[in-house]
Structure 1
């Protein structure tokens, strides 16, 4: 979602003057008592949730599920419009960066009473997932549906040509001073227009054919698929009170030196300029075209990379950093109920089913995302293995407990509105990394005003 849409989303919610439950109009109420409108944004997940709906309806013939899918760019603005007009879906896929604001505005239904009444086993989910959906008011606002972490996707033809082994890739180290063995590998994988590698005499950083490392954006305030793990393994954290940030630390020297190192790869010619990275070709398309040797990305992108038939893609672990371990952001989605629905019992029945092993097994076997229910993971591993993926690099940080949460708080849109242009300015060499301290002051001022 771009900056203007995020700003509009926050502004739209701010205009809500009354709780959504009091704002229902005939647009939402016109449906039958047993009909549930369910929204999601990922088209790749539409088939498996269609199957889930079929099974649910067979088990619960009194209910009918209508699924609507919208792309990420439109999903959130449509949802806010629905909140305001009283025509939002009964149940929708929620993101950990969005629900705090929705909950603060009374748009998401707490489900604690339902969970207690039906004895839902919250311990069946991957560790930490269920707690991500407890707001700062102590109430629960959703049941987990999946989870994700990050790794490096690499072109194995390029690594083989460079003489880089799988063992080297999976034992990389990193530090903010010289980049460790990770930067050595990225340097080796970078090739200029005359075929000279980044670690060979005469390498031309201004005329590069293959960049050792690709990226898609400047990371905004979360850096999920760009810089988050480097900062984490350098001993940095987003805020006090993670994931509900009460004071942010974008001005911390550990963060500044991390971003300075990351940006230095552009100067050295190992990574494209920000203008090149944002030139209209997304990071996976550029990777598929042979422009990047390595691209970091999340587990939700496995299907997209699998579609790049011209590239033999493999996965590598994230590097070990100064803290002595490798770390990954762990995020997860949940199914949430709109507070304004007039079909609460039907909506809860659907949410409870989606969070059950029956539905999670369907999700797992589709081989698109990792299911939230731990006992469904063997089926997911088998599905990904059948598709040619060894997903171990995604799983290891979770199994070791070396994960950190996606930063979340009710002011996420405002944080993004500050940090996105600040990070873009740094990566475009329009500002120095030290300028992030000023952006951090602005972020904390916003939190202070809104607290």
Structure 2
């Protein structure tokens, strides 16, 4: 356990002991403070809040939206200073640490959420939000997978039919048909393509594949995770709550050696080109012409469909599935968000009533009809699919087929998440930069396994 983690835990424990002593359940009136980070989702959840308030006249929902980075720092500060919200949008990357720090109320212990059923949500989604004690600490709100977004104009210029993207395959030896495609989509400053004689890998105008960095802050979710998983690799021996990391396995290291090698070939931007440890997104890379296609998450659909070129013309964006790997299957990380009630809430029963509504049919359908994300309930997911097809003229089944075809794998849920990220991110950055070999991740694996020993 790191010094920062111990200090935070101590401060939070002292605050919680003080706060919980006088915490009541609240009455049927009051203001419930609700935090989220995604500005695109705020309008949909405001509709949910309006509907909830109509049904509960004495209760008011106050929604606060903060950007991703400031969101988590403000939340941590709020826990320490007894200023945390009643309910907040939780992420699996943070969930395990909050359970360890005991800042989340078990929803099973609160009357409104005591009867939540796993079967109401997409298979496997609700189980992600249970602690080692088997109790539920989050009510599912949405889910996501990853797929390939592409700029149709870039494909047209290369003479590539979008249908070719439906059955691409890859392997760590020569990259398969996937690498052949991104090589052809890559164009240097003189107009020479990556699969043509005379290609200058050091002066590339458009890379075939976008990059969102080394992937150390989210287990390569929108970077290499679709490749490592389709090679048969998983982060820990079991998930959730594994006891050993697998960064020393050949399937992982061979895949990363190939993946980061794409930058050496010029087919993917270098670490410096995308802004280093704070990279620009795939959406910006397609918009500016830095890349022709790239892997990103379903939560970005609305962003991609709003992209315009320098002249203000709308870009024609398409979506294709992740490539098939050595296992004979494609893969996508299956992640989800949930709403959690904090232990600092002075009105936990009212807060739980709001959480129950957020995960219920009415609110989920409202979110589905907005088309911003895929809601946790299957029926609401279908509404989101229909919205994209009818309103955006966009086929998003590359995301939903991963769930239907059972080719997803779970976001890794482990103890000591903050310490893991602190160790993982700079080491993967070093591999991307080329200052450390992929084999150095074996040493990192040993360090991560030591964290498990401390946690036991």
- TM-score scaled to structure 2, two decimals? 0.93
Cα contact 1:19–1:107 (8 A) shared by 2: no
Instruction: Write the distance in 2 (CA, Å) between the matches of 1:295 and 1:46.
Output: 26
Q: Is the 8 A contact 1:142 1:334 kept in 2?
A: yes
1:314-333 equivalent positions in 2, closer than 5 A: 314-333=318-337
Counterpart CA distance in 2 for 1:59 and 1:274 is 51
Counterpart CA distance in 1 for 2:207 and 2:330 is 24
Does 2:427 align with 1:427?
Answer: no
Secondary structure of the 1:420 match is helix
Instruction: Report what 1:450 is aligned to.
Output: 455
Q: Which residue of 2 aligns with 1:74?
A: 70
* 1:86 paired residue number: 82
In the other structure, the counterpart of 1:285 is 284
1:370 equivalent to 2:374? Answer yes
> Which of 177, 184, 194 matches 2:173?
177
Report matched runs for 1:129-140 at 5 Å. 129-140=125-136
Runs of at least 5 residues in structure 1 that lack an aligned partner in the other structure: 1-5
Q: Tell me the residue number matched to 2:347.
A: 343
Cα distance per residue 1:367-420 (max 9 Å; x no partner): 100000111122111211212221000011100111111111121111111110
* Aligned-residue offset at 1:114: 3.7
Cross-structure match for 2:265: 268
Over residues 251-298 of structure 1, what are the superposed CA-to-partner deviations in whole Å (9 max), with x where a residue is unaligned? 111111000001111111111111112266443212101110011100
Cα distance change, pair 380–10 in 1 and its aligned pair in 2 (3 A): farther
1:297 equivalent to 2:296? Answer: yes
For the 8 Å contact 1:122–1:130, the answer to whether it is kept is yes
Alpha carbons of structure 1 residues 409 and 118: separation in structure 2 relative to 1, 3 Å: closer
Deviation per residue, 1:296-336 (Å, 9 max, x gap)? 10000111111212321111110111111111001000000
User: 2: CA distance between counterparts of 1:113 and 1:29?
Assistant: 12
Q: Which of 85, 95, 101 does residue 91 from structure 2 map onto?
A: 95
Structure 1 residue aligned with 2:31: 35
Q: Distance in 2 between matches of 1:316 and 1:187?
A: 17
Give 1:406's aligned residue: 411
* CA 1:154–1:9: 2 relative to 1, 3 Å: farther
**Residues 7 and 208 (structure 1), Cα distance of their counterparts in 2 relative to 1, 3 Å cut:** farther
Instruction: Check 1:191–1:415 CA distance in 2 against 1; reply closer, same or farther (3 A cut).
Output: same
- Which piece of structure 1 moves more, 270-279 or 419-428? 270-279
Render the CA deviation track for 1:175-197: whole Å, top value 9, x for unaligned. 11011100000000001111111
Give the match's secondary structure for 1:297.
strand
Q: Does structure 2 conserve the Cα–Cα contact (< 8 Å) formed by 1:23 and 1:85?
A: no
Alignment gaps of 5+ in structure 2: 310-314
- Distance in 1, matches of 2:38 and 2:290, equals 26
Q: Say which of 416, 428, 440 aligns to 2:445.
A: 440
TM superposition shift of 1:7:
9.1
By how many angstroms is 1:21 displaced?
5.7
Q: What is the match of residue 44 of structure 1?
A: 40
Q: CA RMSD in A?
A: 2.3
Instruction: State the distance in 1 between where 2:57 and 2:29 align.
Output: 13
1:214 to partner: Cα distance = 0.9
From 220, 238, 246, the counterpart of 1:223: 220
* Structure-1-length-normalised TM-score: 0.94
Aligned length: 446
- Asked if residue 165 in structure 1 is aligned to residue 135 in structure 2, the reply is no
Give the deviation of 1:235 after TM superposition: 1.0
